[in-house]
Structure 1
Amino acid sequence: MLKKCIAVAAIFFAAAAVNAQEKPVYLDDSKPLNLRVEDALQRMTLEEKIAFIHAQSKFSAPGVPRLGIPEVWTTDGPHGIRPEVKWDEWDQAGWTNDRCTAFPALTCLAATWNKDMSSLYGKSIGEEARFRNKNILLGPGVNIYRSPLNGRNFEYMGEDPFLAGQMVVPYIKGVQSNGVAACVKHFALNNQETNRNTVNVVVDDRALYEIYLPAFKAAVQQGGAWSIMGSYNKYKGQQNCHNQYLLNDILKGEWGFEGVVVSDWGGVHDGMQPIFNGLDLEFGTWTDGLNTGNTNAYDNYYLAKPYLDKIKSGKVGTKELDDKVRRVLRLCFLTTLDRNRPYGSFATPEHALAGRKIAEEGIVLLQNNNNLLPIDLNKTKRIAVIGENAIKAMTVGGGSSSLKANYEVSPLDGIKNIVGNKAEVVYARGYVGDPNSNYNGVVFGADLTEKRPAEELLAEAVKLAKSADIVIFVGGLNKSPYQDDEGYDRKEYALPYNQDKVVSELAKANKNLVFVNISGNAVAMPWVKQVPAIVQGWYLGTETGNALARVLVGDVNPSGKLPFTFPVSLADNPAKAVGEFPGGDEVHYTEGIFVGYRYADKQNIKPLFPFGHGLSYTSFSYGKVSVDKSKVNADDKVTFSVKVKNTGKRDGAEIVQLYISDLKSSLTRPVKELKGFEKVYLKAGEEKTVSITVDKEALSYFDDKKHAWVAEPGDFEAIIGASSADVKNKVKFTLK
């Protein structure tokens, strides 16, 4: 803390000194950004430039105190602002005012299929980061959901590159409207936690460009992201935090990225590659990114004294150094040196309400046989809530996204809150999973220690289920190792802690059973035909229980849709069936472009629940899709329109999905690919026309022989669906 106070004082007095004289260009915000950058750059000493591009603590870089350029402070996201840790340690700093709003996980945000919700999310979390005076929010994540066993899938936006790309852009703009840089991660091909620091990904160029890069490209070219985080893994044998192909050739070369490439903590491994291969700002070297680390190692980072020594000895020049410094200076001028930067706000009721709204729109009703949901509180006298996840805190754990939340409403408490005295709510544990409620020094939630044997817990739950009008089992995964947790992949597709037996026994005891799956991943459901109602509940943050309960009783009509496929078994997942997961020293993406629903379509596999699936408490009818031009040129845009009507008795929202099919191609293409979507809100009986416009990009594939995107003339089909498997109608058109 003393170090930080001295640094702040130095910045203040330095700024006062330069302002007392004629104002330098770099402090004049009326001047063009590039002139300010160049002016500041030419005033910096070699030593100041070197200090500027590497950490001085676990989460900060020093800035340039002599010139009044403040420190650069980063914070983990992407679901909330990480609690403060000590200057040089992972241990908690012991602050009493760093309890944040916990927002829903990004899988939930993606499940809203609502760009307005993404904007609200980014704006709200950006306000919290700004209030804590952070320059860089380490998020959002857009790595593709390749396998349901990836322990970090809950931090990402699903299996489809178009959906992830469309949802990440408003998030970035929302964050950066607060003068805080979004740091989009993890670039790229970071699709597993097993051997994450060493595994080399082998993937063909077509899959790289069509599946794994588009969301990052959208983040850069449409979202204007001010920073990008490299990933731990390798591609073409080079670490991705200093990878010539990804960072220089593609990111900065092909896409024209002007921002800062930040290393992941522990992601820098080589003496020369970080200098030449695109890394700009080095953090966390010699740590594992979570726990271990070398104390006061900062001067010996690869971009620190070793780099300075190489320059002074003539082994390397300063061209690369100046490029790195320019990029970090640009980020500083956009954040801490922006005089119009707003002040932000922290852990406010407005942010909690925003989080609840996002959660409500992201919850997915997967199955609702016999219209068991919503719960009719006028006819229900006793509700049995069963399952550890009904009482377990989920804002702690999971790795670097673990939070010290201001509060977290459990599903059980949320149900009690909304039911009130209208019905009796009773609870039984049912099973024991992980009783811990702490991570990295943050202890949050009840002590869940349980000494009773599994048989006794199950018997208690079954007895309770028999006495209830309706049973709500809240289970799924948690944020413990080998589940939804950074650093670990899942070991199996099945539910942990013998939950399948509990669910089956409850289904025998009471036919009115609701299964609420709290997870960021798909899970196997061998009992799916025994359970009439299934809800995907995600990790919903601070307002978890209130959001979930409002959907269960019908105060909110569910409108979320799945951002990834639920396969029946792991054998139906392409990373298992065709490719490798997790591989050894190398992992081969042999499935190529056929990820998620693309693979299910190709193999004609019926998923447990398809990509884009989600039910409602009302019903919708679709009219015939029309096209504004049946024949188009490559430079034309084409608009498809369809009437959608709410044919039920409740107000609700439907997500209209547009897929494009190339009917004849010189290269093998997926049966269809998502290229547009729109969430439309309809009152009972209301009808609206939904129009979606696409351009040449939507018709193109990546030709790896030409290393170019190609829109091949010929016949195409526009497919309107309520999911990837629920096709409503089609229309043909021709690209001339």
Structure 2
Amino acid sequence: MNIKIAYSNTWKKVLIILFVFTKTVDVFAQKTNSTLEKSIESKIDSIIPLLTLKEKVDMCHAQSKFSTKGVGRLGIPELWMSDGPHGVRAEISWDSWDYAGWTNDSITAFPALTCLAATFNPKLSGDYGYNLGEEARYREKDILLGPGVNIYRTPLNGRNFEYMGEDPFLASKMVVPYIKGVQKNNVAACAKHFALNNQEHWRNTVNVEVGDRALYEIYLPAFKAAVQEAGVWAVMGAYNKFRGQYATHNELLTKKILKGDWDYDGVVISDWSSTHDTMEAAMNGLDLEMGTGTDGLGTNSLNHYDNYYLASPFLKALKSGEIDETVLNDKVRRILRLMFRTTLKSNRGFGKINNKEHHAVARKVAQEGIVLLKNENSFFPIEDKEGITIAVIGENATRSMTAGGGSSELKPQFEISPLEGLKARYENVNIVHSMGYATGPSVYDAVIPSKLNADSLRIEAVKIAKNADIVLFFGGLNKSHLQDCEGADRTQFNLPFGQDELLNDILEVNKNVGYILMSGNAVEMPWLRNIDGLIQTWYLGSMAGYGIADIISGDVNPSGKLPFTFPAKLEDNAAHSFGVSSYPGIDQEQNYKEGILVGYRWHDTKKITPLYAFGYGLSYTSFNINNVKTDKKTYLPNDKIKVTCQVTNSGNLDGAEVVQVYVGKPKSKVKRALKELKGFEKINLKKGTSKTVEVSIDASDLAFYDESISDWNLEKGDYVVYVGNASNNIIKTIKINIK
């Protein structure tokens, strides 16, 4: 009888708590955020004592591939997650990586994040995040496992296409609106992979050694912005080790920096199988352990969810007193806080999927992210001129680029191929297609030759090209294993499947060739001088073909800028210049010997000419940047440096330009890059018009991380402001002084 009464009283308390929460939500909406947060914390305080020790532990680890347990008796819901930096992944089976076979889980595939970064348009990033969040909400997901903000360190990294380029400032400015947009839907964004997961090769075991300056100046800023500026609700740990300790439960990264210095109040989630130790996971800040085992059905007890590191072993350590219950309570508090932000949020909304607004945003991102790299003899745009023949060569003109890639692969409702997009746009042109080359039989068998005869494909492609007026070669990479794909890095810098040889054969019979490069990485281009046109299109998702046709036809003027450097040869890349000890490492030990000199910082400082520079991108019109000046010459540490210039569209078409502001510190007491991006502004201009652009920079953002004091240090003295439209195309330099 006493037990029943105790349980009844407990249940009444929970009902009262939930009743009060739901009935007063309208009042909360009128309160300040601070008051609302205090109210939620108070409710969490009242819930935690009602939970048993095992119920709390059960909330800290997976119950299936993509969900964690709730507490049914108290009405605490499960948490459901989905992969998706650029789209919500199809439903996965409970205990395996097999797809569940649903027929209603098709979505809009948005362009990959390299394309988003190439837009240099933070507002568009916010639209991207909001529309993606709507799709996640419709699919009843509580956590969307993205965005990725690891830094582009080597062009061989198989997962670079999921990230936002090589520059920490650009990544920071683009990730904040993305996260805010997703979370407006009461769906948690999950910034990943924290931290230093900059290669896929040996990702589960490699130990990364990097100095504090590079850590704080290059590899952490985008994560810090995600936490402190965007207020991200979830962060995912990385697979690799850092200074000998796994990143997912790394004392310095997760406990001291993320939850300590940055005062992060959200949940830390492991990457799938990135947890390795109960004590470290418990004490160093991991809250949710995912993916350690794959079999929850009991057929293999070792892989059962109850045997995760934060499951039975964690419970045992708590019961023995080896770990204090306050450690567990902090994790449960964070998980409940996440629930109140997502699945327990009243008036949460229902989301939307595959609507015209989402398709329009996907197309807009494609249009603004595509980069025109070469356009000799005005090869682009191509007119819809009756009587001409365009030969479209290449498997990439028809291949699905949403399939494959690892955990970011998608199941879109539709995917417009480049060939389909061109045929829809060009009514008068005769368009013919030949594969020219072919990959392996599936995304997992890239090293296995295609069953199609390579010689026959090549002969047919050359024949079609010879009889065409214009050749558009759709090449590059795809999302197969050993290309742009999770789980392994590329093994070559040049193009696969004999594309270089095929292109040379085509150039023998037709000189009027434009190359459409589809990739998330830089590639070697020995044939570049022999072609007139080159467009970098990335992976564009559902609206790929329409977006590409918009640029090729000139319906949209290209405005994308490269978010990473294309080196002329692999050895010109900083990570590769130091040999195997720097990439991929020796005996799974790796040293980032280039330090802070990543990407354009390396090329600038070492005076190495890139093939294409960071920030570079052409237009079909012309822009002039004039009257560049700063508001004054001398600044105090708390001042804002205001850089203004006049941008004129002096060409014949409307278009958009990106004003880029870099700053350098000559005669610094420490080793510095020649210059670093500190501000940018994308501006749309009608032909023949001008506009004044202002870029504001906090003087304090010119500080470097001083390893001698383990803190940021703003040097006094002279600085140089560089203004241009690419890292290697500086229009004006101005000397300023910081007092």
TM-score by length of 1: 0.94
The equivalent of 1:717 in structure 2 is 720
Identify the match of residue 318 of structure 2 among 298, 311, 327: 311
The equivalent of 2:31 in structure 1 is none
The equivalent of 1:69 in structure 2 is 76
Deviations 1:282-310 (A, max 9, x none): 1111359xxx9988611111111111111
The equivalent of 1:582 in structure 2 is 584
Deviations 1:4-24 (A, max 9, x none): xxxxxxxxx999976865756
1:457 aligns with 2:463: no
Question: In structure 2, what is the Cα distance between the partners aligned to 1:20 and 1:400?
Answer: 39
The equivalent of 1:476 in structure 2 is 476
Amino acid at match of 1:724: S
Question: In structure 2, what is the Cα distance between the partners aligned to 1:729 and 1:428?
Answer: 47
| Compared CA separation, residues 20 and 436, structure 1 to 2 (3 A) | closer
| Compared CA separation, residues 274 and 512, structure 1 to 2 (3 A) | same
| Compared CA separation, residues 474 and 314, structure 1 to 2 (3 A) | same
Identify the match of residue 235 of structure 1 among 235, 242, 246: 242
Deviation at 1:697, TM superposition (A): 3.3
* CA-based RMSD: 2.1
Question: In structure 1, what is the Cα distance between the partners aligned to 2:419 and 2:175?
Answer: 32
Deviations 1:427-470 (A, max 9, x none): 1111112343689xxxxxxxx99655322222211121121111
The equivalent of 2:5 in structure 1 is none
Question: In structure 2, what is the Cα distance between the partners aligned to 1:451 and 1:204?
Answer: 48
> After superposition, where does 1:291-690 map in structure 2 within 5 Å?
297-378=304-385, 381-420=388-427, 422-436=428-442, 451-578=451-578, 580-583=582-585, 584-690=587-693
1:266, 1:287 within 8 Å by CA — same for their partners in 2? no
**Residue aligned with 2:278, SS:** coil
Question: In structure 1, what is the Cα distance between the partners aligned to 2:302 and 2:454?
Answer: 44
Deviation at 1:43, TM superposition (A): 2.1
Question: In structure 1, what is the Cα distance between the partners aligned to 2:84 and 2:629?
Answer: 42
Question: In structure 1, what is the Cα distance between the partners aligned to 2:323 and 2:107?
Answer: 44
Question: In structure 1, what is the Cα distance between the partners aligned to 2:449 and 2:429?
Answer: 29
1:217 aligns with 2:217: no
Deviations 1:273-332 (A, max 9, x none): 1110110111111359xxx99886111111111111111122221111011111111100
1:157 aligns with 2:159: no
The equivalent of 2:278 in structure 1 is 271
Deviations 1:180-212 (A, max 9, x none): 000000000001111101100000111101100
1:380, 1:470 within 8 Å by CA — same for their partners in 2? no
The equivalent of 1:121 in structure 2 is 128
| Compared CA separation, residues 371 and 435, structure 1 to 2 (3 A) | farther
Amino acid at match of 2:512: N
Deviation at 1:475, TM superposition (A): 0.6
> After superposition, where does 1:172-191 map in structure 2 within 5 Å?
172-191=179-198
| Compared CA separation, residues 727 and 137, structure 1 to 2 (3 A) | same
Identify the match of residue 732 of structure 1 among 732, 735, 738: 735
1:14, 1:67 within 8 Å by CA — same for their partners in 2? no
Deviation at 1:504, TM superposition (A): 1.4
Question: In structure 2, what is the Cα distance between the partners aligned to 1:22 and 1:209?
Answer: 43
Amino acid at match of 1:467: N
| Compared CA separation, residues 497 and 22, structure 1 to 2 (3 A) | closer
**Alignment: residue pair count:** 712
Structure 1, 693-702 or 177-186: larger mean CA deviation: 693-702
Amino acid at match of 2:101: G
The equivalent of 2:3 in structure 1 is none
Deviation at 1:595, TM superposition (A): 0.6
Question: In structure 1, what is the Cα distance between the partners aligned to 2:289 and 2:724?
Answer: 45
1:183, 1:225 within 8 Å by CA — same for their partners in 2? yes
| Compared CA separation, residues 399 and 294, structure 1 to 2 (3 A) | farther
| Compared CA separation, residues 293 and 408, structure 1 to 2 (3 A) | farther
Amino acid at match of 2:471: V
Identify the match of residue 703 of structure 2 among 700, 704, 707: 700
Question: In structure 2, what is the Cα distance between the partners aligned to 1:550 and 1:429?
Answer: 22
1:84, 1:93 within 8 Å by CA — same for their partners in 2? yes
The equivalent of 1:143 in structure 2 is 150
Question: In structure 2, what is the Cα distance between the partners aligned to 1:493 and 1:293?
Answer: 42
Deviations 1:60-107 (A, max 9, x none): 011222221211001001111111112112111111100111110000
Structure 1, 629-638 or 200-209: larger mean CA deviation: 629-638
Structure 1 unaligned regions, length at least 5: 1-12, 440-447
1:624, 1:729 within 8 Å by CA — same for their partners in 2? no
1:208 aligns with 2:210: no
- Percent identity, aligned pairs only? 53
Amino acid at match of 1:530: N
Deviation at 1:158, TM superposition (A): 0.3
Question: In structure 2, what is the Cα distance between the partners aligned to 1:406 and 1:452?
Answer: 28
TM-score by length of 2: 0.94
Deviation at 1:597, TM superposition (A): 0.4
| Compared CA separation, residues 294 and 87, structure 1 to 2 (3 A) | farther
| Compared CA separation, residues 16 and 177, structure 1 to 2 (3 A) | farther
Question: In structure 2, what is the Cα distance between the partners aligned to 1:673 and 1:534?
Answer: 27
**Residue aligned with 2:157, SS:** coil
Question: In structure 1, what is the Cα distance between the partners aligned to 2:358 and 2:270?
Answer: 30
1:660, 1:698 within 8 Å by CA — same for their partners in 2? no
Deviations 1:528-563 (A, max 9, x none): 100110000100000111100110010011000000
The equivalent of 1:78 in structure 2 is 85
2:660, 2:677 within 8 Å by CA — same for their partners in 1? yes
1:14, 1:65 within 8 Å by CA — same for their partners in 2? no
Structure 1, 573-582 or 98-107: larger mean CA deviation: 573-582
Deviation at 1:236, TM superposition (A): 1.3
1:88, 1:296 within 8 Å by CA — same for their partners in 2? no
Deviations 1:139-159 (A, max 9, x none): 000000000000000000000
1:393, 1:437 within 8 Å by CA — same for their partners in 2? no
Amino acid at match of 2:627: K
**Residue aligned with 1:716, SS:** strand
2:65, 2:294 within 8 Å by CA — same for their partners in 1? no
